[in-house]
Structure 1
């Protein structure tokens, strides 16, 4: 090639269409050149109303630069280019795609979300290597039957379209692992869905489903099933046979009964809030051996059975907005990290105790498990005699509840006698709330190997010292603060951060993503002007509260849909 010369007569490259002639400025030649080397092309957010021919023909035509230079170095050998395997054309104004799509047979990833597509070309059947297809946030009313030819497809995202039914033969996508059909207009799920034997995650939320097929139990690998915001009145009993199921979302439906789960021994989260469930029975609970989160808010429950104590692994229990008048005292023996009781006509627990939070409620319930018998009174009397400072230090809480409680004293410092009173006792909780302290007590480090819950709310903290990082088992931290302290990002064991009603103006999503144990983040009533889309990557969050901030997006309608919807919304808007 280096010896080729320009000669008169026919162009030896005739028959090839020169790439780039129809690209204009929408697709820079440098981007195409890089794509030929990497096999990846990202054209997201370029205001495209159609896909330029040079994109479809990137592996077919001679590059534009070849027309000006017939001598190529080793790094410019366009004929040795890499086939395009990843094409991202999301966040544009595309209304259709042409059959030229077949010119990219090597594609494994095609991302066309957030456009205005009403249909897909039949040529999509020829993308036999496709593994991930994202068509979410478009205007599709039907799916072409040709999509069932994509036998290597593993991830298919169809959320936020206008689909009313599922294509015949859909079950042929036997390698599909992740399927999102949320926010469409589906009224039924075909029984043939059960043949999607590789499916691990299925999202059917925000449709118009009145029932689920009994055959759904054949999905033996399914771990995540989301049926939030539908019209379900019952759940097929066969659902109990889904042995791999870990997360089940049935929030905002019309359920009157809680399903039983005799085989779902791996179920970790059950969300059935905003239904019409009237009764919670022992049969519903006895098989939930691995349950971590049980969400029953906004139902019509009148009581909680004593068998709730069978849920040894339970960490989060939401009973808010029901008709519960009393709670079983045995609930106090559970190791709950979050208990919501607001909106119930409770008569046995004073409102002031409920307002103090989960640990105070559990402490109260535990204190009621036994009638204050002689042995307890004698023990308390003996303690008071040997420790005169009990008037200031709650020794009963230290010995019985493993809690160091010095709250609501309006103290500017935590006295040494408070820490001295611990002696050889094991302490798992610290409550120094409602005081006037300006810094973390240095002697907190003495509890570094045992304390897991720390409540420092309603104080005058202006900074947080690094000593807090030394609390090796810290999982719960309640603060009232003007900004999210940098040190919090370094406490990777944290599971709960409550920092509402402050003046927090920003959060660092990259650092927060590193906090893999964080499941609850309460940022309500702060000064957040924007929510970074990257926060959507914090997929371990189960509760994200953002109400009462001055940001404009996500809109209130998104916030009302709950944490999963917020995170999905944010992820869809991450620049790619």
Structure 2
């Protein structure tokens, strides 16, 4: 295939040189300049990404060795004041980036780079790999996304030190079961967007695997030995042809499950998945939910069941005490269980598109808060009483009494020895003694929601080294101190919704473990700049603020952002480049004054919105 590279045109003796010239190996070789070689030998890193290369410069494969001319130029004097190259300062190449070029093949001489630990070949036109790639015994991270690979050489599976392997957007139809099982150091495996029809049985041998993505294939079967992946945290099987799944109860550390857009007729057997936080089951043919599944998911925060065939919802849904988002849209539900109103943390309940007869349509249109209030009132009118935890977490508290002696003792405040819950107590502050007891009990979760607190209690900062979850929703906060970001580096969940907060301090960029940030129903006019510096962020809920623009520079910071809710703001333009955020699983944009995308596109769900936006990008 011919490739041309643009150069400036010049007039010489009235002759016009061509603006484009054919790119040859000679021109490719010039991209690896002596200056780049010198930098690579000093740092051990070489970046030739986006150079339009059709062939990799031959010098790359010999970069760890000096030719005769280079040896003659070496300054072998021990004088530190000289500016020449010093052989003792050379670093063997351990990172090579050849991504976003036009490479169709890789030389067998790649075996010379035996010191490589990171190799990026994504976004090329590779149709095959040389068998010699198996000689890169130290390789730990390999990116082959966006190529044209149809198979892998047997020697590929000799890369026994691989921890991260990315093969998405290729043409793979199968992976050898014996080979894939040999890569037993893998922690991350992405083989999404291929043509696989089955999960290789050898995947069950990858016992160190934490993230497994096989979405957008033609997979119709999952072997039972997937239950061997005892440390798996993320399992993505969305957009396949699965009709059933084996029991997943052995995956006790599983946190994220994606099986949307399949052919499932029932919910997967998740009994035992006690760590599960999100389950995405939309766009299937699920007719019923097994009550025992709902009874055994104590940490589930997001449950997406939209676009299925559910006609009933079990009362056991009230067991999902940690649930924040429940999407039941576009099913065949005729009623909702009153017990839904007992869920203390439920913030978003979507039921549109159901033939509900037990709930008036005007109540549904009023939104989640009104609907939950109606369900609670119906629960009580049915003769049920709110007792124990339900009463404290839902009904308004009595007159405030803030003396430490009148606080519940540690066995009431610290449930299970890890959670400090003082929600809905009419508190304006919390005595320092309470946090001292919480620290002694190794508390890692604090709930101070639904109080009248205007300043965050400083006692929280004393738990900073153990604190993982903090709920300050529905208070009277107008600002958040920078000390919260500096003192709580292990925070994973932060709920600040329904306050009067205008922005977040830049010191929040220290929250490198934060996975979920809820800032809905505040006074923010922009997405906080600190969001750009939150590498682990997966969920951002910023609905019902006064946000005027979608700042892509900020949103592209978190590389794993999967849920973005910026509905009900003041956004007039949706940039088409938002469609390039392919990690997004849930995008909420409704309730803003923009004209495009139209409601007809928004109603089709996230994949349709992202596809529409990508189509609008000017080529």
- In the alignment, which of 317, 337, 348 is matched to residue 338 of structure 1? 348
Structure 2 CA distance for aligned equivalents of residues 136 and 285 of structure 1? 37
Pick which of 357-366 and 308-317 moved more: 357-366
Structure 2 CA distance for aligned equivalents of residues 513 and 82 of structure 1? 32
Q: Which residue of 2 aligns with 1:513?
A: 534
Within 5 A, what are the aligned runs for 1:538-553?
Answer: 539=560, 541-543=562-564, 549-553=573-577
Q: Which residue of 1 aligns with 2:272?
A: 263
Pick which of 340-349 and 312-321 moved more: 340-349
TM-score by length of 1: 0.72
TM-score by length of 2: 0.67
State the shift of 1:486 in Å.
3.9
2:43 corresponds to 1:38: yes
Pick which of 100-109 and 443-452 moved more: 443-452
- In the alignment, which of 100, 108, 112 is matched to residue 117 of structure 2? 108
Q: Which residue of 1 aligns with 2:324?
A: 315
Structure 2 CA distance for aligned equivalents of residues 557 and 231 of structure 1? 24
8 Å CA contact retained: 1:265, 1:290: yes
SS at match of 1:161: coil
2:34 corresponds to 1:29: yes
Deviations 1:202-261 (A, max 9, x none): 111000011111222222222221100001011123x33333322211111011111222
SS at match of 1:32: helix
- In the alignment, which of 189, 195, 213 is matched to residue 205 of structure 2? 195
Pick which of 113-122 and 244-253 moved more: 244-253
8 Å CA contact retained: 1:22, 1:53: no
- In the alignment, which of 477, 480, 489 is matched to residue 497 of structure 2? 477
8 Å CA contact retained: 2:233, 2:255: yes
Pick which of 274-283 and 178-187 moved more: 274-283
Structure 2 CA distance for aligned equivalents of residues 262 and 255 of structure 1? 17
Deviations 1:395-452 (A, max 9, x none): x99993469xxxxxxxxxxxxxxxxxxx983599xxxxxxxxxxxxxx9764756984
- In the alignment, which of 140, 147, 150 is matched to residue 149 of structure 2? 140
Mark the runs of 5 or more structure 2 residues left unpaired by the alignment.
1-24, 399-423, 430-450, 458-469, 486-492, 588-605, 611-619
Relative to structure 1, the CA distance from residue 503 to residue 65 in structure 2 (aligned partners, 3 Å threshold; closer, same or farther) is farther
Give the alignment's Cα RMSD to 1 decimal: 4.4
Structure 2 CA distance for aligned equivalents of residues 289 and 506 of structure 1? 31
Q: Which residue of 2 aligns with 1:537?
A: 558
Deviations 1:356-378 (A, max 9, x none): 433332222222221298x99xx
Structure 1 CA distance for aligned equivalents of residues 301 and 478 of structure 2? 32
Mark the runs of 5 or more structure 1 residues left unpaired by the alignment.
1-19, 377-395, 404-422, 429-442, 457-463, 568-576
8 Å CA contact retained: 2:29, 2:58: no
2:395 corresponds to 1:400: yes
- In the alignment, which of 282, 304, 326 is matched to residue 273 of structure 1? 282
Q: Which residue of 2 aligns with 1:57?
A: 62
Structure 2 CA distance for aligned equivalents of residues 311 and 39 of structure 1? 51
8 Å CA contact retained: 1:231, 1:254: yes
Q: Which has the higher contact order (CA 8 A, sep 6+)?
A: 1
Relative to structure 1, the CA distance from residue 369 to residue 427 in structure 2 (aligned partners, 3 Å threshold; closer, same or farther) is farther
8 Å CA contact retained: 1:203, 1:225: yes
8 Å CA contact retained: 1:36, 1:78: no
2:98 corresponds to 1:89: yes
Deviations 1:126-174 (A, max 9, x none): 1011111110111111111111111111110001111111035221111
State the shift of 1:68 in Å.
5.3
Q: Which residue of 2 aligns with 1:496?
A: 518
Structure 2 CA distance for aligned equivalents of residues 354 and 447 of structure 1? 35
2:53 corresponds to 1:48: yes
Q: Which residue of 2 aligns with 1:205?
A: 215
State the shift of 1:94 in Å.
1.2
Pair member with larger Rg: 1
Relative to structure 1, the CA distance from residue 341 to residue 448 in structure 2 (aligned partners, 3 Å threshold; closer, same or farther) is farther
Structure 2 CA distance for aligned equivalents of residues 34 and 255 of structure 1? 54
SS at match of 2:395: helix
2:250 corresponds to 1:241: yes
SS at match of 2:552: coil
8 Å CA contact retained: 2:204, 2:229: yes
Structure 2 CA distance for aligned equivalents of residues 399 and 513 of structure 1? 32
8 Å CA contact retained: 1:445, 1:470: no
Structure 1 CA distance for aligned equivalents of residues 564 and 151 of structure 2? 34
Q: Which residue of 2 aligns with 1:174?
A: 184
Within 5 A, what are the aligned runs for 1:217-232?
Answer: 217-232=227-242
- In the alignment, which of 473, 483, 490 is matched to residue 453 of structure 1? 473
Q: Which residue of 2 aligns with 1:432?
A: none
Relative to structure 1, the CA distance from residue 298 to residue 525 in structure 2 (aligned partners, 3 Å threshold; closer, same or farther) is farther
Relative to structure 1, the CA distance from residue 322 to residue 196 in structure 2 (aligned partners, 3 Å threshold; closer, same or farther) is same
Deviations 1:44-87 (A, max 9, x none): 12222211122221111249765556665547213551111111
Relative to structure 1, the CA distance from residue 397 to residue 325 in structure 2 (aligned partners, 3 Å threshold; closer, same or farther) is farther
Pick which of 276-285 and 471-480 moved more: 471-480
- In the alignment, which of 302, 305, 320 is matched to residue 311 of structure 2? 302
